[in-house]
Amino acid sequence: MGDFIARRPIWSFLIIVFAAILLWLVFAVWPPALEASLGRKRVFLSALFNGITLGALYFLVASGFTLIFGLMRNVNLAHGSLYLMGGYIGYSIGELTGSWLVALLIAFLVVAVVGILMQVLLFRWMEGQDLRQTLVTIGLSIIFADLLLWSYGGDTFQVTTPEWLSGPVELPFIVGLRSSGEAVMMNYPLVRIAILFGAIVVGIAMWLALNRTRVGMLVRAGVDDRDMLSATGVRVQLVFITVFAFGAGLAGLAGVVGGTFQSLQPGEDIKILLSSLVVVIVGGMGSIPGAAMGALIVGLAEQFGSVYMPTYAVMLTFVIMVAVLAIRPEGLAARR
């Protein structure tokens, strides 16, 4: 941190100023002049929170994607299909058992098993052939999409929010003042806040697992040099299968989460895949902190874009991607 400030004083200064302005925008009562130019504070705050929670969802999907890419050099273009599959499975289990947590768990497990099958039956036999693996994942994504369409049809589904997570909650942010001078507080859906906390917990757990455990050490070593790792006698295939299962399972889990506060329908797989692609390109491929950073940026860009420039909301995301590619082709968090 201190190192960063010493190396890039101008950038650090800009970041600090930006953070200060943001904090002021979040906590202060907006003067009328600001409301006139930027719109109501309620809109701004909800765009901010929606962006952060959307970023949380993107992080859940993209971290699996980036982990698989980092270790196995496998661009899993079927990742969006795994997301949608998890969502549909979660919906079915939720309807069957009535429990959201059971749906979450089973979606994770089933999709993890699908991931293991993909690694064991297909990718294991074409190691080191990046392009061929990617082509296989394209074929798989087409097949999965059609199978899901076959079994669930083209209807829109939504996973039922559990009782204990539904309803709004009051946040300690003032959105405005009543004429009586009384402060109006921000109300926000509890389920989105829970998802944000969930994603943060998953992120921290992943960081700890990668940096403090033996398996994590093997994974990091594998990311750096796969051949050397296997030469030291580690059963690399086992590490690969573990990572693939975990990454796929995370996509399935994200499917249930996304199905709870968004919706599930054919075409959602491609949308999520594209978002994860942009997240991973912006953040830096193969890096978990990069995925978190990219997810936050993309989520915020999408939400602020749809509020303040509705016709070009999606374009904004891609403009950011192009800008990052032009300045830092390896992504923001990539090691030099």
CB 106 to other proteins: min, Å: 25
In this structure, how many other beta carbons lie within 10 angstroms of the beta carbon of residue 225? 11
What angle is formed at CA 263 by the lines to CA 261 and CA 264, rounded to 5 degrees? 135
Collapsing DSSP to helix, strand or coil, 174 comes out as strand
How far apart, in whole angstroms, are the C-alpha atoms of residue 334 and residue 336? 6
Selected from 54, 110, 140, 245, the binder of other proteins by CB under 8 A is 140
200 is a contact residue toward other proteins (CB under 8 A): no
Residues 264-283 that bind other proteins (CB under 8 A): 270, 274, 277-278, 280-281
CB 163 to other proteins: min, Å: 37
42 is a contact residue toward other proteins (CB under 8 A): no
Residues 64-83 that bind other proteins (CB under 8 A): 73, 75, 77
CB 277 to other proteins: min, Å: 5
The helix (run of H) or strand (run of E) holding residue 189 is: strand 183-189
Angle between the 236-261 and 268-283 helix axes, to the nearest 10 degrees?
120
297 is a contact residue toward other proteins (CB under 8 A): no
Selected from 33, 150, 172, 214, the binder of other proteins by CB under 8 A is 150
CB 77 to other proteins: min, Å: 8
CB 96 to other proteins: min, Å: 26
CB 58 to other proteins: min, Å: 14
Classify burial at 167, counting beta carbons within 10 Å of its beta carbon; exposed 0-12, middle 13-18, buried 19 or more. exposed
132 is a contact residue toward other proteins (CB under 8 A): yes
Picking from 261, 271, 295, 256, the residue whose alpha carbon sits closest to that of residue 109 is 256
296 is a contact residue toward other proteins (CB under 8 A): no
Cβ atoms of 158 and 264 within 8 Å: the answer is yes
Span of 22-30, 216-224, 251-259, 324-332 interacting with other proteins by CB under 8 A: 324-332
Cβ atoms of 244 and 72 within 8 Å: the answer is yes
Cβ atoms of 195 and 186 within 8 Å: the answer is no
* Single-letter amino acid, residue 267: G
Q: Which is nearer to other proteins, 147 or 183 (CB)?
A: 147
Provide the binding-site residues for other proteins, judged by CB under 8 A: 73, 75, 77, 122, 129-132, 134-136, 138-143, 145-147, 149-150, 270, 274, 277-278, 280-281, 285, 311-315, 318, 321-322, 325-326, 329-330
